[in-house]
A and B are shown apart, each in its own frame.
Chain A
Amino acid sequence: MRNDLPVRLDGVVKRYGSRTVLDGVSLEVTPGVTGLVGPNGAGKSTLVRSILGLVRLVAGSVRVFGLDPALEPRRVRSLLGVVPEDECAVPGLSGVEMVRYAARLCGLPGTESLRRAHEVLDWCDAGQERYRPVETLSVGTRQKVAFAAAIVHDPRMVILDEPTNGLDPLERRAMLGRLVTLARDHGKTVLVSTHVLPDVQSICDRVIVLARGRVRLTGAIDELTRPVTPSHRLEGDGPLADLARLLNARGLPARLADDEDGETGDAGAILIEPPGPARLGLVWQAARDAGVVIRSLEPAHRPLEEVFVQTLRDADAEDATSHGSFLEREESHAAP
């Protein structure tokens, strides 16, 4: 049902004064996990607000599950769960009271709201900290409480802004796992706005790249990160160059992979193409013969970062006349 797409934007334009924040944005969000990436000020927050029906658009239309958020904001918002970019909470309430409050604002009745709040907090691993006032909670727990508050009413779509902020690596993995669980096991639509590209690559099915108020790239992660020719990436210890020669000699085109720095080093990896499951046995064989100990052998992907940078470079070229470069800015950030 096309009409029932979680989110569909058509030529959305939004200006604040003379500044154009969304410049003819058309996109679709499908069920599954979608990553929304873009430099700061790309218009991500405004995009989310337009989905919530919080901003008045200059032009274009927004449909959320077939509903217009400008006309039916309450119905739309009751289908959505939002974890805002800033921590936001009602001071004085404890964690569990905060989640319960969120549940009741969404119309869950009395005791049921408390029951459900505990249930969701359990799943978010909030522990006994839930009984402490929100303003005294650690950043990580606050993030969990905000997430619990967003999903407590079992929304059809969850929108998250930097959901892994303030979480330690284990908690971060757990949080990403929860998002995947929601999408895969419960059929939810998850829209994650983040700067952490590895997160996007590890959990998202699709990605939307937004820059200067325009959609620059959209598509399935698998396709976007697929190398020009399908290949396997082999990492291991030993004479990799020898192995590459051996593989080529045995009819398996292989080459040393470029490192991130662009150097071809001996500590790196080999790209083998085209792989095909039947021929992987040959690879293992060749590795043993060459004296290489394989650490990993998996389908090769371009890092999303590469795709992202390429996209912004294209965007710069497109808008070169009127604006500064993203890349310069990014690099100047990276320089120190």
Chain B
Amino acid sequence: MLSLTHVTKVFGSVIGVNDVTVELGAGAHGLLGPNGAGKTTLLGLITGQLRPTMGQVRVFGEHPFANPRVLRRIGFCPAADLLERRATPREWVRYLVQLSGFRRDAAAERADRELDRVGLGEAMDRPLSTLSKGMRQRAKLAGAMAHAPDLLVLDEPFDGLDPVARHDLVGLVRRWAVSADTAEVPRTLIVASHLLHEVEALHAGLAVILGGRLVASGTAGEIRDMVDAMPSEIRIRCDTPRRLAELVCSTDGAEGFRFEGDDLLVVATRQPRALAERIASVAVEERLAIEEVAAGDRSLEGIFGRLVRLHRGVGS
């Protein structure tokens, strides 16, 4: 569906995308990275707005750059707010659908249907300038979806929304992604975000981009497994940390101990699972009062932090 081969995009001496090679199949994908990591550039390359400096971008098997055949099948929702603020959502979406090659009447029909679906049924004739940020965002989404694209690309679609609007829109996008699985033509959703939980909420596969480089991709579970192999720390809070250390020190994989305060033991390990099992069994056998066991960086957030540290060569 979509493949990038050693794609690099530079602007002067600034780099946008750095040697990205990735295949994305049908389904939902989250593109995750801090601001300035190169997400928007990557989306620009995929949606044919930018020409790669090096490497090849293929969407539906063709170069997307200035290629109407490909562009017609892509729906893109940019991060920037809509500029044409005097128009109504209906006019705006109709106009976009017409641009994608539909005749006037078909475009009108599709626009109305799509605006209904995103929940702008009542407000579709008010000028965009009078609508709230959440409603404008819905109008943008409708504009990106109305021509029934096979590839939907959303750049920070939930940025700056209040929690309710965010919840609604996440649902909307998730429904599109779910229906993507059942559509006759396999469809792909790409959502760029700098917030992990947004991507997690979409149940999307993950592609993590840092400094223009794709550092990890796969499902969240796959990434967790990979990170498991890396050294990490387990923090155990109990009333007898030194006793616990004595008991655990012979376990394979416990590589270092550190005490913090009176009740906290930090164990460095490369095999967190084995160690966790050992701690559990020791706790039962010796009747230790363990209050808390935390593998500090087991959350996706922690994984992300670990990737950043690896990327920047800080800590090994």
Which residues does A use to contact B, with CB under 8 Å? Answer: 94, 96-97, 100, 111-112, 114-115, 118-119, 122-125, 131, 170, 173-174, 177-178, 180-181, 277, 280-281, 284, 293-295
Contacts and interface: CB of A to CB of B under 8 A. Distances in A.
Contacts of A177: 313-316
A14 B29 CA distance: 63
A96 B313 contact: no
Contact of A125 (B18, B250, B313): B313
12 contacts: A112-B54, A114-B10, A115-B8, A115-B18, A118-B212, A119-B18, A122-B210, A177-B313, A177-B315, A280-B249, A284-B246, A293-B242
Contacts of A170: 314
Contact of B316 (A115, A181, A294, A295): A181
What 7 pairs between A and B have smallest CB-CB spacing? A122-B211, A125-B312, A123-B313, A118-B15, A174-B314, A284-B246, A177-B316
Interface string B300-316: 00000000000111111
B262 to A, nearest CB: 10
B19 interface: yes
Interface of B: 8, 10, 13-15, 18-19, 53-54, 210-213, 242, 246, 249-250, 259, 311-316
B10 A115 contact: yes
Contacts of A277: 250
Interface of B is mostly: mixed
Contact of B213 (A119, A125, A131, A280): A119
A100 B312 CA distance: 18
B195 to A, nearest CB: 21
- Which label, helix, strand, loop or mixed, suits the secondary structure of the A interface? helix
Contact of A123 (B8, B19, B246, B312): B312
A104 to B, nearest CB: 13
A114 B250 CA distance: 49
Contact of B19 (A115, A125, A293): A115
Contact of A119 (B14, B19, B315): B19
A323 to B, nearest CB: 42
Contact of B13 (A94, A119, A123, A293): A94
B180 to A, nearest CB: 33
Contacts of B19: 115, 119
A115 B211 contact: no
A122 B312 contact: yes
